[in-house]
Structure formats: structure tokens, C-alpha cells
Chains A and B, each alone.
Chain A
Amino acid sequence: MRLIIKDNYDDVCRYTSEYILNRINEFNPSPERPFVIGLPTGSSPLGVYKKLVHFHREGMLSFKNVITFNMDEYVHLPRDHPESYHSFMWENLFKHVDIPPQNVNILDGNAKDLERECTEYEAKIAAVGGIELFLGGIGPDGHIAFNEPGSSLSSRTRIKTLAYETIIANSRFFGGDVNKVPKLSLTVGVGTVMDAREVVILISGAGKALALAKCIEEGVNHMWTVSAIQLHPRGMIVCDDDATLELHVKTVKYFKSIEKVHRLLTTEESKVGMDGKVRYSATSK
């Protein structure tokens, strides 16, 4: 697992968006071989989406052959409700870029048969060949997507009740009224996220500091579900200084010291590509 420590939220977003940009462009997606990416919602990825839109407008990034899978969606919230995750993704990303509508996959919280919706979602992921990169955030209780503490670390896409802490955290989007927040959601499981070939988690803010510490310094534990990233062959966490407040000084110093190597991997002059292959010239794949 790589831990990239940046100074502030803006740097975190810049690093992550540049990483995704380079990843997609190096992958060079085509209609037969699209780039499949998993996307989160919430306040953490907003900066990343803004920068991705900016890259698209500059002509550096095209979403024509990118297939997206979202992590979660509320159940029984109308799709055009301003707080539904369909609206979130539309407003913040899909509206501005050239992604074809058939490449967008978001769980439908208003499906007649929710369980079938979940199994079909897994089938869709398998049909496109699995997810290449899964971007995610973390909750204050260490959850990924809506996999609240206690979720099985091998879980798949399913219906999930929301923890009270999550409902309180989300009530700020529903006018502060806890009763308006949906209590059920469809979410990808921890197993689904860890099945992706790469996982990138965004962690910023002092509120997530304890979760980050529990997830990377202690063992794999279902009470802090992001800790499953310790078992992933290609996990990466991008965090800012505030989020390292609960880490050991030794951990922070260690990861910062090897960041120089990390930085080299994302530049054009890099000898090693994103996929770990050695390049003998800057432009050859």
C-alpha cells in the first residue's frame, strides 16, 4: 500500500486527478478495451471531479471510452432529487464531460427488485472485465462506500442499512434534518472494491484522522472496513497533513521519505510506467 501525504486538500485533489489522468491516458482506452473506473460521492472527491472536468476542457482527457461504476445510491430517493447520487454525479461530472450515457452505471435505488439490481450490478462489472481503478473516500468510522462497521470484508453489492453516525454526517445535505435522510442504501461491498485492480482512497481532514490510523496501523478489522486495503496488491491512500494527526510519527516520516519515488512515477520523464513496466524511452509504452 502506498500512502501519499500532501499538504492540504487542494494538493490531494491535484495529485489524485493527475494520477487518474495519467492512468487513463497510459491505458489508452478504446471501444474494445475501455477504462473501467469506480467513482465515489461526497465532499472529498469534489475537488478531483473539478480538476478532471478542467483536464477534459483543456483537451487532455476524454471520457469516450471510460466506463464508470458508482459506489452507492440511496434507496427510495427519487432519481432527480437534488441529494440523490445520480444528481450528484450529473452536476459534478457527467454534465461537463463527453461520457456516453451507456457507459455510466449507477445503482438504481428505485428498482422494483433491489436484490436483483445488486446482483445485476455485479454481473455488469464482470461483463466489462472488472474495474481497473476504484476511487473511494472514507467515513469517520472507517467505512468505504456504505459498508458500515461490521460489514463482512468479503461482501458484494447489496442493500445496506446506514449507521446512525453516517445518517448524522449526511444530514447536512438534507437541511440538517436527520429524519429526511434515507436509511437504506445500495452499496458495493468491500469485496467488490477490493476486486478492482487498483484502489485509491482519498482521506482529508482531521475528522478522518482516527479512521486512517486504525486502517493502516492496526490489523485488518471489519470494524474499520477500509483496512481491507492492506490485503490489496495495489492500494493507494492519498491524504493531507490533517488526516495524519493520529498516525505515529514514524509512519508519517517513513511514507514521506519514499514519496520522492512516488512522485517520479507520475511524471512524463519517468522510467517506470503506471503499470510498473520499465520504459526505455519516455514515450514508448
Chain B
Amino acid sequence: MLGSLFGRKEEHAGANNNAASRTQVLDHVSRSLSRQRPQSRNSGLLGWLASTQSQILARRVGRGGDATETHQREVLISLAFSVAPSNMMCFILNSLIVTVMLQSQPRTSSNWSAESPPTSPALRPISPQNFYDSPIRLAPATPHMLGARADENKYRMRLLTDRMFSPRDKHHIPLVSLGPSVFSDSSKSAEKVIQLLRCDVLKNGKIVRDETLWIQGNKIVDGATLFFAGVKPDQVIDLGGATAGQRRPLVVPGFIDVQINGYFGYDFAEQSKLEEGLDVVAKGLLKYGVTSFLPTVVSSLPQTYQEVLPIIDAKRGRRSGHAEIIGAHLEGPFIAPCKKGAHNIDYFRSAPNGFADLIECYGKYLDPSSSVQKDDNVVKIITVAPELEGMLGAIEGIKKEWGDKIAVSLGHTECNYEQAEKSVESGVTMITHLFNAMHPFYHREPGPMGVIGFSSLPRNTKKPFFGVIADGVHTSPSSIRVAYNAYPEGAMLVTDAMAGAGLDGDEFMLGSMHVERKGPMEVVIAGTNTLAGSVATMPFCIANLVKFAGCSLAEAVNAATITPAKSLGIYGKKGSLMPGADADFVILDQLSDVDESAFRVARVFFAGEEVFTVA
């Protein structure tokens, strides 16, 4: 009788795949069982029952039903109550099997994500706090939010409220009694977070008023992202409000100087004291706000380059307390003899064999087949005179082998406008100290200056960046005004400082040449009137550019930060205060409402630590 009863129900279940009918079947089964008297039950019947039940459940599970969990549990419980203790073992085994099959349900994405969070070792302090870290992320990034939340997910582990209200968190932490002590562990990790308050910040070349700047480790980060991820700053620097008659302090990126021949008595073409000189200059430049620079090697013999460049290469990179040496600027020897300036004419040469001559002179640093890595070359800029024999081919060779990694600059040249234009088409992207040591500007023969004046060059060539030495001695202020206003985005401030810069003496050695000081900011080759480089400092040049060119302080600072960075292809990492940039910045104060060019370098930060404070 029982068998037929169950047989009929089985057919029903088999024929009709409706979940409701299956429910009915299981209900019938459980009710029938509860009506049974203990004596009529035997293990065989129960075993058959168990298998039926599991088949039905398996079919339900196999179809991915996920709303029936509670129902299945009810059925199991009802079956359990109807079973005599002697048959409990069968039943337990059966329910175990069913439970295992239930567990093998695929997890739907609405429950939790299968990914594990990307955490960098530096951000996870090893501390009891890790005990609360949930291994499962609550809100995995979706494609359209990847950019926005990629950084933030790193910090989600520190978001306390997330952990408190996550479904996996069984630890009930009182919300209110948590004070700053919970986050004091953040100082254990290597990344210290600094917040600057109440500053005007130069962002993207424009002043943003009343801003905050967040620095983590040695990079600038987005404050909102860190804040909403629960990170508190370890150090808060309040720059204070504006006082009467003075503007708020201005935070600007660290200055970049692409042409420094020497400083503080050291000359970079002299190999004997070069290592010491690079260290001293790198340390000393910080007080002028220069946080990155390119040591410049004047025209020399090939073996000098073989000796000097490896030393500069070894000093590259970020070192605490030193301005960063980005690479070397090779000024010469492929330059025009009639525009030698303060270089030694004996070392000049042309390139009849084109690119091969350059390789022969500079050695492995220009040889594409050498061990020097393509994107890790110490040589960053080469100054050439394009009218020399074979130079256009050499320039094209450089561009072909090294692409954007080496910038070719036009300088110490007597080329006319057409030759300058051709060289820009061949790959010249910069002009070394515009107006100095080059063909003068004549209205029917503009020389290299004409390349700046063009609204756009033929065949879509980009106008080159140009450096100006704005010390009032090398170029007349009105020439700077004309050049700057012709192409403001391309104007770069360089100091072209020589070994006597930063010193107070009257006589120095520049390479093998005697130079003497003629005026407070003027040094000439001894006995002549030829300028021998400058003793200008970068803040002096910036103030002068404001006065000469009539631009704002922000624009003058752009000429010392954004434009040099763009010319070297490192804008974004340097010369910028946007998130992701290196934390090299300068705080200028004593700004005046009356005199746009007045400022003082008050504090200099390199890699997130303060390296200079004005007394």
C-alpha cells in the first residue's frame, strides 16, 4: 500500500517538473511518515525514502534553484522528526550527502566576489589590526569605475566602518569609542601621509585657491580618495591664512633646470672632482627650489665623455636630501666654431659620417647596439648645430634609434631660418639658450628665432621648446618679452650656471678657461667681453621673467616646471602637483599683491620630506 502510494507520487514528480508539485510530494512524504506507527517502519523503507528524497533534491539543486534552501531544511527537519532513533544513522548520512550537494551550488555574484583584494605589502602593517581584515572585498571594481576606485581599493582594508558593517564580520565593535589610536598604526607602514592645509596650489599651471595637498610616501595623492577610504594624515602642515597685505603661500612643483654646467666651484666637465661636485651641487641646489636638474657637459674630447658619463649615470635617481639628477645634457662638440661662446674650439667637430661620428664621440651612450637600455639612457639632451656637414642625417639617426628618449637641441649655431626649420622637421625639439650663440634675429632672416614665431610649422611639425637665460645679462629684457609672448607654452627657464654660481669670488676656472666677474651677475672670459655662462639662480630667473615678459608669477613658474618637464617627456611625474606626481614641491611665501615678481623660497620638499626651510 505504501509502495503504491509512493509510486504514484514518484510518477507525478517525474512527469511534472514543477517545483510546486515536488514540494507537494515532499510534504506528502513527510506527513505520511509522521502518520506511520513505529513498528511498520523498517530500514529498507527508510533507505528507499532517503534515496528518493535525495534524488528530488539533487534534481532541484542541479537546476540551480537557490530559493529553496529554507524549504529543504524544513523538509529535512520534518523527516528527522518522523524517524525512529534506530534509523538515525541512515538519516544522518543522507542529510550529510544532501548538505554536501547543497554546498556545491555555484555562488551567485550577488553574494560575494571571488577575487582577493590587491594589497601591497607596504600598506598592510603586521599588527593585530589585521585580525579584522576581511579577506573578501565588498564591492569589486566594475569597468567604468576602475579608474576611480583602483587606488581606493588599496585603502579599503583600513576602512573601519566597512569592516564593522560587513556581513562577514562577526565581531561587534562599538562604533563610538574608537579614537585616533586605532589608526596610529598607519605610521608603522613606510608610507607617511602628510596633508598641507590652507594653501594656494599651482595645479595644471593655474592657481587653485584654498586647497589641500596630500602626500603619501614620496608621491602626491588624491586627498578625497584617501579620506573616503578612512586614512588620516600622519602630519598636518597648516600654511596659515593670508596676512594683511600678503597673499597666501603658494605651493608649486619643484623647479627643473635643464642646463647647469657647474655650481659652487665645481665644473661638470672636470672628471677629477665630478663625484664630489655632483653631490655638493645636488645638495646646494635645493635651497633655490631646484629639485631636478641636468648636469651639462661642455664640448670635450671623446675620452672625457667616457669618463664623465658613467659617473653622472651612477648619481642618477632619487636620493634623500639631494636634488634629483635626471640625466646629462651634452652641449657640443658638434657645434659651430664661429659661435663657440665659452667652449674650447679645439674640441669642435662636424659629422661627415653622420650618426656614426656621434657614436664615435659619445661612445656606448649613443650606440644603439650597446648595453645601454633604451629608456634608461643617462644622455637626455644633445645640443648640436644642424648646419654642420652631415648633422641632419645624424639628427635623424638619433631620432630613429632613440626616439623620444634623447632630445636634440639646437644651439651654438649659425644656421639660418630654413636650416633651422629643416632641423626641426628632422627631429630637433629644443633650442638651447635662445638668442645666445646663434644667428641673430633679422627681419628678413629671422634665424632660429623664426621657428618660434611661426604659428605652426609646415608638415605638422611641433614648435620646439626654447630655453632662455633670464638673468638680464645674456638677453635683453625686451627680447625675452618678444620671444615669450610669441610662444609662451614653449618658454623654458634655464640658468646655464657655471662653476662660479653660488660663490662670492671674482675669478674661476670653466673647463680650461679663466673667467672673471665683471658685474654682480655677469662673468666673462678673462680679458674679453664674451659671456662665460651665468651665475644666475632659478628664483632670480623666475622673478626676472615676470618683470621682463609681463607674465604672472604662475606662468613664470610654469616656465621653470611644466615646460622643462614636457621637453624631457617627464611631465606628470615631475613638474606637476596632480595625483601621481613625485612629491617634490616648493612653498613660496612673501608674495605681494603689489609686486607680482616678489616671492621667497620658504620651504622645499623632496620626496615628501622637508629638505630646506628658510631661516
A residues with a Cβ closer than 8 A to B are 31-34, 57, 67, 78-81, 86-87, 90, 94-96, 98, 100-102, 104-106, 108, 110-113, 120, 123-124, 127-129
Neighbouring B residues of A102 by C-beta, 8 Å: 160-161, 178, 182-183, 230
Contact status of A112 and B110, CB under 8 A, knowing A31-B179, A95-B212: yes
Neighbouring B residues of A87 by C-beta, 8 Å: 224
Q: Is B15 an interface residue (CB 8 A)?
A: no
Which size bracket describes the interface of B in this complex? 35 or more
16 pairs, CB–CB < 8 Å, chain A vs chain B: A32-B176, A79-B149, A80-B148, A87-B224, A95-B211, A95-B224, A95-B227, A96-B198, A100-B180, A102-B161, A102-B183, A105-B161, A106-B228, A111-B138, A124-B175, A129-B176
Q: Tell me the bound Cα distance from A67 to B175 in angstroms.
A: 11
Q: Tell me the bound Cα distance from A111 to B142 in angstroms.
A: 11
Please report the number of residue pairs spanning A and B whose Cβ atoms sit closer than 8 angstroms.
81
Q: Tell me the bound Cα distance from A191 to B177 in angstroms.
A: 27
Contact with A along B153-192 (1 / 0, CB 8 A): 0000000110001000000000111111011000000000
Q: Tell me the bound Cα distance from A256 to B149 in angstroms.
A: 50
Chain B nearest CB: distance from A200 CB in Å? Answer: 23
Neighbouring A residues of B183 by C-beta, 8 Å: 102
Neighbouring B residues of A106 by C-beta, 8 Å: 228
Q: Is B225 an interface residue (CB 8 A)?
A: yes
A101 and B231 within 8 A (CB): yes
Q: Main secondary structure on chain B at its contact with chain A?
A: mixed
Q: In the complex, what residue of chain B is closest to A80 when comparing beta carbons?
A: B148
Q: Tell me the bound Cα distance from A102 to B227 in angstroms.
A: 9
Contact status of A100 and B176, CB under 8 A, knowing A57-B198, A94-B227, A112-B138: no
B148 and A57 within 8 A (CB): no
Contact status of A104 and B228, CB under 8 A, knowing A57-B198, A112-B139, A127-B175: yes
Chain B nearest CB: distance from A280 CB in Å? Answer: 31
B145 and A110 within 8 A (CB): yes
Contact status of A101 and B227, CB under 8 A, knowing A32-B177, A128-B176: yes
Neighbouring B residues of A57 by C-beta, 8 Å: 198, 241
Cβ 8 A contact of A101, one of B110, B138, B175, B232: B232
Contact status of A110 and B139, CB under 8 A, knowing A31-B177, A78-B148, A79-B149: yes
A90 and B224 within 8 A (CB): yes
Chain B nearest CB: distance from A76 CB in Å? Answer: 9
Q: Tell me the bound Cα distance from A248 to B177 in angstroms.
A: 49
Chain A nearest CB: distance from B386 CB in Å? Answer: 46
Neighbouring B residues of A100 by C-beta, 8 Å: 180, 232
Neighbouring B residues of A78 by C-beta, 8 Å: 144-145, 148-149
Inter-chain pairs besides A31-B177, A79-B148, 9 sampled, C-beta below 8 Å: A31-B178, A79-B228, A80-B222, A86-B224, A90-B224, A90-B228, A101-B229, A124-B161, A124-B175
